[in-house]
Amino acid sequence: MNLVAERLHNQKLSAPDFRKPLEVVRWFGAVQSQDFEAAKWALALRMLSATNARIEEEFNRGQILRTHLMRPTWHFVAHDDIRWLLELTAPRVNLKCGPNYRKLELDDAAFKRSRKVLENALKNGKHLTRAELRKKLNESDVAANDTIRFAHILIRAELDGVVCSGPRVGKQFTYALLDGRVGATKKLDRDEAIAKLTRCYFRSHGPATLQDFAWWSGLSAADAKRGLELVRLERLSIGERVYWKLRSSAAARQSLNAAHLLPVYDEFFVAYKDRQVVFDPQDGKPSLTSWDLLGPTVIINGAAVGTWKRTADKKSIEVNFIRALKKTERAAVSEAVKRYTEFLGLNPAVTSVKSRAANRRASQ
């Protein structure tokens, strides 16, 4: 079994077949999205064809929503999945936020007052920016000038299913009432919710370990194990590690020298507790760290070979490789850059291509 090839396939990087952003988010269950622009590109990578404007439109329509769940960070979630995901994962997120709640003097009474203010401010389909909501809270004697305190008031309102993302106003994010953005959805009991989240994770991220799943989902170890009991998964052993994947007849397809520009916090990296399998075997001692993999990373055949960023003028891409690349690999990276710049509506260009490996040899 080629673990990396299977992950590329299940993550829809080597075999993108979705036509809508909503389909991508449903496939994953949730997609980390605290960096909004990067997260839109993460969705586009899994689609046959996508533009930044198209994904923005689906977000503004409320087909995909952005809220806190699973872990104390933002995620994209399908509009019809948000309620059961919140019910399942919000209690543990609140536990993790508990020390900050207490430090910021946010108790049940404070949350009750802030909830009432938010519901009144956003009723009748209104959507307001953070600045507008901060003003409403302050006017109602709910202290919100402290940025961290204000953020935790909004996080708690998201976790309680009061608010979620509204349509953007220019580049500004807004909040709206969840009940106004999402109609009635099917209610799942706890086992049904655990089973559905387990199935979503292993079909889109497998093969993966139980620890990977618990990390990604934010579930307790007991609930993560319960998920394995509820869903028929295939067990795989590699060395001393045990991996699980959803049973499937589809074979993993891998294109030779396929390159991708992965955004910051892409699911290909962030969704696993152990990220060692994606270090480039040709690099000897890895030049990148596990933390580097959470930033914008260049992969070839699933292995990390460098980092990338948009230049200061936002008109082109700078790529920094950790080893010298073959001619075919450089061509693949150029195609990956072209795909990204077309997504943004820019003219494709790589203005600076560096290679640390080549530089090291030249200095010896």
Strands 297-300 and 303-310: antiparallel
Between CA 202 and CA 88 the distance in angstroms is 18
Domain boundaries, the chain: 3-181, 190-246, 259-363
The pLDDT score that the predictor gives to residue 252 is: 59
Q: How far apart are CA 157 and CA 74, in angstroms?
A: 13
pLDDT at 351: 58
Decide if 94 contacts 159 (C-beta within 8 A): yes
Q: What pLDDT score was predicted for residue 51?
A: 94
**% of residues, the chain, pLDDT over 70:** 89
First-to-final CA distance of the chain = 39
* Low-confidence stretches of the chain (pLDDT beneath 50): 358-364
Please name which of 23, 4, 17 lies closest in space to residue 80, comparing C-alpha atoms: 23
* Cα–Cα distance, 121 to 335 (Å, whole number): 47
What is the structure's pLDDT at 347?
72
| Structure confidence at residue 55 (pLDDT) | 97
* CATH number for the domain formed by residue range(s) 190-246: 1.10.10
